[in-house]
Structure 1
Amino acid sequence: MDLLNVVIVVGLIHCALFFFDTLFKSCSHYPYLYFLQNTGFQIEVLRVRWFTTAFNRLVQKWGTWHPKLLQCWFTMGSWFSLGLLPLATYLIIKASIDIWQTDSDGNGSKQTQAPVLEPMVPGINIPISDLGYYVITLITCSVVHEVGHAIAAVREDVHISGFGLVLVFFLPVAYVHLNTDQLQSLPPKRQLRILCAGIWHNVVLTVFAAVLLALLPLLFYPAYDSGSGVAVQNIQKGSPVMGPTGLQQGDRVIAVNQCEVLDSDSWYSCIVQAVKQQSPGYCISAELVKEHDESIPVRQLPGGAVECCGANSPDHLCFEYLETEEGTLELPQHSCLPGRIVVETADLMCNAARDCTSGLHCLKPSLENGTKLVRIERLDAKLVLFLGHPAEIFHTVLISDYVPLYFILSSAIPEMVTRMCKYITIFSAGLAVINVIPCYFFDGQYIVRALTDFLLGKKIPRKSVRRAIAVFVTVFGSFFLFLNCISIVLKLS
């Protein structure tokens, strides 16, 4: 299912919910109104809101646990968040300037740094298949953020009305209702503990997810091996690497051509190397050539390739003999040889005649532009030969860093945990950075106001002047964040 289908389906669901909500409310169906009142659901245009007080007592208990320890925790969080504020503001300003300079450079010759902050949109820069990870990650990061605010508020004796979750189209956002009057009546230092608590908890969540991600190979080790090959998790239907002698689900790939595969990163690097470089040659003996050669008169193909095999030899390839440094031809210039026998027999691969040991000769397949002969080496299985564009391997084969040590296990579970940790690390860090920027509707707006009172309370007694300074800083940050978002959306569209 692509992005357009997802948008249509979600849009139809929202329209149906809003239609029936309006219908039942206009007819004054008591059971429906009673249901909304008791569950806290509220249906709006393209939005579903849920509010509850069920967690108030639990958060009250958390907020009164070791008050001095919590005070130190949230004080540390406020100082860390205030240190992050100028860094995040600098990043958003620099990203906006870089985008503006890139857009103004018509010929594209000016090389600038990529934007630091980029919205993650399923179907555009996130696979639509990861929509579930996307939604779960947003809920997790948002809930952790709001729980941080709530616990800090309880610690500072600010009343909590309840918690809620808003589903804007398919974007979930958690929120907590605090008593605004009580919050604003607190001294600036205590306000900052509450306002920075959400950002601080997102930072802690980022560190936790990153550490867990680094420890996953060790945690999964009793059942899975990692760092010595990749496991084939899935192969798309119709993939050119499928077949009786092709890749199979569960295979352990350890090399692509001469490139050693250790993990998913090296797998990707090996595929890129196979795309950029020419197909390597193979060091074989003269006896093998003489025994299997089925050459026909050479025919030149467009693009510089040579055809020396007939139509009756589908498993054969035309190999070109690379001369030695002395320039003597010990074998025919072109030989039609069975590809699998050549590849399986050759212990060495070569790019020049000197790469082969004494008594062996370097023969390279003569192929058209874009077509490569790729040798995929599996553990305890026959070699897989692929003839085509190597990018097809990358796009049609799903691999995993975790190789099951027992046949009853699957790589799906560690891959799901790994992907979840990656998403939480990225999204939680991004949420922390974006929230600390002095911008309207973000925590940064209120942090700047409290910080202005804290720093300038004695120097500028007039509250209205301090508010004007805070508004100026907020407008400044909002402008650059808006400019950055608009520019990135235009680039992605």
Structure 2
Amino acid sequence: MSFTSFVFFLALVWSLIHGLSHVSKRSRQLLPLYPDAVRRRAAFWNMKHCRATVSLLHLRITTSAFNAYHDLLADKFAGKRYPRLTTLSRLFYNLGGVMGVLGMCGALAALTWMTGCSVWSVARKLLVSSVDNASLESHILLRRGLPEGGSNLHRTSSSYPVIAPIIPGVTVPLDHLPLILLAVFLSQIIHEIGHAIAAALESLPAVAAGVSFIVCIPAAFVTFPSEGLQVLSPRARTRIIAAGPFHNLVFWCILVLFGRVGAGSLAWSVIGYDNVGDAGKVVLDVDAESPLYGHLLPGAIITKLDDTSLGTSNLSQDIWTTYLASPEIRPTLGWCIDGKLLEGTDACCSTPVDSTDASHLSCFTGARFSVDVQGCLDPIPILTGRNETTRCSEECASGMVCAKAGPETQLLRLTVLHPSKEEAVVLWSGPRSEVWAEVTVGTWIPRFRVLPHSLPWIWETFWQ
């Protein structure tokens, strides 16, 4: 989904909401006004236990339908029929209070440390900017000439903790936004359930519960009478306040446990999916504007990137991302070709990659009679295997040269196993990072056509 499509979708949703609000208000104009008509004027849905209000891009829905269940739970905690349940619940939420205090102290310490690091980084940049041009130039040249790994100064600056915010369209794809909002909403529901259960443990009645939406950001809430909360003991108030984040912590631990024991893999196998991680990566989706669209079909398995196999049984090893995000890697193997082919023009070897001159040719290098030679060749018949060629590391038969594509050519071979079980090689020309950005891959493939290819990927992305 593009940013324009997302904005259009939001505009359509809020137009419908305000349209319903307008129709509801007009239908109430024929009714007699009540004393609280001014306060109720913004409500466009008011049932017996539910109420919804809208203001600009803020929708709020409240309900008291769950109050009876909350009171029933409070009666069970207060009664003498389940004393062990009440005792264990108090111990559980006492632990939540302790974890809340420790978490708050840890967060303040981390925030203080991050602030100090940021202040020091800014101060150091100001000091460096005050150095004269000659000293600054000398400093820059010194860092360029350092061996790989950098200086102590470089390592110190990179050792500061860095917060990587999740920004759809910037740090993560924009398509992840619905999953992020759903994850946030689910976490808030679990958070508020914690407050509600802890309040029932203290016999504190609930006033209402509900959800709200600001633009596209969801939120859940539960309200209690402030007077009833104030008369509780400090320990009871601590249990109620800390119950929300403690529920989130416990929920996270449960998810980690399920991931460790491989419950997700077992579930997908039962549903009807096969793990093809040992063979490679399954194509789930390709950007419609990508040159690869139409060449990589959903359900196809990419088995190799150049000569690197994507098959692995290690779930934590992401060869796809590692290879495409790493610096350009020169292939270790070449192709045995007729040495006379490299005796032609080598103009493309000195031409920028983005030049339109001889754009269908790529620079190949090799050694003939212990002399390095280079020439411009059409890479498609060589790299895609349309002509029979022999792979080589250094030497070839007499009259042949072990030729390799230069790293400046930005060529990438994708070995693809199509759903028809036919293997082909797709040749990509351009930055490899674009392949990573435009092609979505996974490790699960459905056994039945009715099952969507992207469902396991959506689930895994959601729980990440």
Specify the TM-score bucket, using the shorter chain as the normaliser: 0.7 to 0.9
Q: What's 1:56 paired with?
A: 67
Q: What's 1:392 paired with?
A: 434
Q: How does 1:2-17 map to 2 (within 5 A)?
A: 2-3=2-3, 6-7=6-7, 10=10, 14=14
Deviates most, 117-126 or 226-235 = 117-126
Cα distance change, pair 391–347 in 1 and its aligned pair in 2 (3 A): farther
Q: How does 1:153-192 map to 2 (within 5 A)?
A: 153-192=199-238
Amino acid at match of 2:405: P
Provide the C-alpha distance between the structure 2 equivalents of 1:302 and 1:336, rounded to a whole number of angstroms: 10
Q: How does 1:462-477 map to 2 (within 5 A)?
A: none
TM-score (norm 2): 0.73
State the Cα RMSD in Å.
3.8
- The DSSP-based 3-state class of the residue aligned with 2:338 is helix
Q: 2:182 aligns with which of 124, 136, 148?
A: 136
Aligned-pair identity in percent equals 19
* Contact 1:320 1:363 (8 Å CA) reproduced: yes
Q: 1:77 aligns with which of 93, 96, 99?
A: 96
Q: What's 1:99 paired with?
A: 118
Provide the C-alpha distance between the structure 1 equivalents of 2:225 and 2:452, rounded to a whole number of angstroms: 50
Query: Shift in Å at residue 17 of structure 1?
Result: 5.0
Alignment partner of 1:340 is 2:381: yes
Provide the C-alpha distance between the structure 2 equivalents of 1:114 and 1:378, rounded to a whole number of angstroms: 42
* Contact 1:14 1:47 (8 Å CA) reproduced: no
Instruction: With a CA cutoff of 8 Å and minimum separation of 6, indicate the structure with the bigger relative contact order.
Output: 1
Q: How does 1:444-483 map to 2 (within 5 A)?
A: none
* Contact 1:213 1:421 (8 Å CA) reproduced: no
Q: What's 2:334 paired with?
A: 282
Provide the C-alpha distance between the structure 2 equivalents of 1:20 and 1:233, rounded to a whole number of angstroms: 38
Cα distance change, pair 93–54 in 1 and its aligned pair in 2 (3 A): same
Provide the C-alpha distance between the structure 2 equivalents of 1:34 and 1:389, rounded to a whole number of angstroms: 53
Alignment partner of 1:377 is 2:403: no
Alignment partner of 1:298 is 2:349: no
Cα distance change, pair 115–193 in 1 and its aligned pair in 2 (3 A): same
Amino acid at match of 1:36: N
Deviates most, 97-106 or 156-165 = 97-106
Query: Shift in Å at residue 189 of structure 1?
Result: 1.6
Provide the C-alpha distance between the structure 1 equivalents of 2:332 and 2:341, rounded to a whole number of angstroms: 21
Q: What's 1:217 paired with?
A: 265
Provide the C-alpha distance between the structure 1 equivalents of 2:405 and 2:450, rounded to a whole number of angstroms: 40
- The DSSP-based 3-state class of the residue aligned with 1:139 is helix
Query: Shift in Å at residue 62 of structure 1?
Result: 4.3
Q: Judging by fraction of residues, say which structure has more helix.
A: 1
Instruction: After superposition, give the CA deviation of every residue in 1:334-368 in whole Å (9 maximum; x if it has no partner).
Output: 47466434553566564xx3xx689885311257x
Amino acid at match of 1:340: P
Cα distance change, pair 358–155 in 1 and its aligned pair in 2 (3 A): farther
Provide the C-alpha distance between the structure 1 equivalents of 2:344 and 2:16, rounded to a whole number of angstroms: 70
Deviates most, 17-26 or 405-414 = 17-26
Provide the C-alpha distance between the structure 2 equivalents of 1:249 and 1:24, rounded to a whole number of angstroms: 46
Amino acid at match of 1:189: R
Alignment partner of 1:250 is 2:299: yes
Provide the C-alpha distance between the structure 1 equivalents of 2:223 and 2:192, rounded to a whole number of angstroms: 10
Q: What's 1:450 paired with?
A: none
Instruction: After superposition, give the CA deviation of every residue in 1:43-65 in whole Å (9 maximum; x if it has no partner).
Output: 22431111111112233444536
* Contact 1:402 1:411 (8 Å CA) reproduced: yes
Provide the C-alpha distance between the structure 1 equivalents of 2:451 and 2:325, rounded to a whole number of angstroms: 30
Q: Which runs of 5+ in 2 are unaligned?
A: 32-40, 78-84, 130-153
Query: Shift in Å at residue 114 of structure 1?
Result: 6.2
Amino acid at match of 1:363: A
Instruction: After superposition, give the CA deviation of every residue in 1:108-165 in whole Å (9 maximum; x if it has no partner).
Output: 9772556665654433434322232122222211111011001000001111112121
Q: What's 1:149 paired with?
A: 195
Amino acid at match of 1:150: A
Provide the C-alpha distance between the structure 2 equivalents of 1:26 and 1:132, rounded to a whole number of angstroms: 34
Cα distance change, pair 400–186 in 1 and its aligned pair in 2 (3 A): same
Cα distance change, pair 392–279 in 1 and its aligned pair in 2 (3 A): farther
Cα distance change, pair 403–100 in 1 and its aligned pair in 2 (3 A): farther
Instruction: After superposition, give the CA deviation of every residue in 1:393-412 in whole Å (9 maximum; x if it has no partner).
Output: 22221111223355554331
Provide the C-alpha distance between the structure 2 equivalents of 1:56 and 1:373, rounded to a whole number of angstroms: 64
Amino acid at match of 1:41: A
Deviates most, 54-63 or 339-348 = 339-348
How many residues get paired? 399
Q: 2:54 aligns with which of 13, 28, 43?
A: 43
Provide the C-alpha distance between the structure 1 equivalents of 2:44 and 2:290, rounded to a whole number of angstroms: 54
Q: How does 1:261-280 map to 2 (within 5 A)?
A: 261=310, 262=312, 265-273=318-326, 275-278=327-330
Q: What's 2:141 paired with?
A: none
- The DSSP-based 3-state class of the residue aligned with 2:196 is helix
Provide the C-alpha distance between the structure 2 equivalents of 1:337 and 1:160, rounded to a whole number of angstroms: 74
Provide the C-alpha distance between the structure 2 equivalents of 1:409 and 1:23, rounded to a whole number of angstroms: 41
Cα distance change, pair 332–96 in 1 and its aligned pair in 2 (3 A): closer
Cα distance change, pair 232–157 in 1 and its aligned pair in 2 (3 A): same
Q: How does 1:232-251 map to 2 (within 5 A)?
A: 232-242=283-293, 246-251=295-300
Query: Shift in Å at residue 6 of structure 1?
Result: 4.0
Provide the C-alpha distance between the structure 2 equivalents of 1:26 and 1:78, rounded to a whole number of angstroms: 50
Instruction: After superposition, give the CA deviation of every residue in 1:227-263 in whole Å (9 maximum; x if it has no partner).
Output: 32210111222423345xx433211112212323247
Provide the C-alpha distance between the structure 2 equivalents of 1:78 and 1:347, rounded to a whole number of angstroms: 68
Cα distance change, pair 147–336 in 1 and its aligned pair in 2 (3 A): closer
Provide the C-alpha distance between the structure 1 equivalents of 2:18 and 2:221, rounded to a whole number of angstroms: 22
- The DSSP-based 3-state class of the residue aligned with 2:424 is coil
- The DSSP-based 3-state class of the residue aligned with 2:169 is coil
Q: How does 1:300-379 map to 2 (within 5 A)?
A: 300-301=347-348, 303=350, 319-322=364-367, 328=370, 334=375, 336=377, 339-341=380-382, 344=385, 345=388, 348=391, 350=393, 353=394, 361-366=401-406, 369=408, 371-379=409-417
* Contact 2:20 2:44 (8 Å CA) reproduced: no
Amino acid at match of 1:135: L
Q: Which runs of 5+ in 1 are unaligned?
A: 423-493
Cα distance change, pair 34–89 in 1 and its aligned pair in 2 (3 A): closer
Instruction: After superposition, give the CA deviation of every residue in 1:60-111 in whole Å (9 maximum; x if it has no partner).
Output: 4445362222222212222222222211111222223333334442569772
* Contact 1:317 1:339 (8 Å CA) reproduced: no
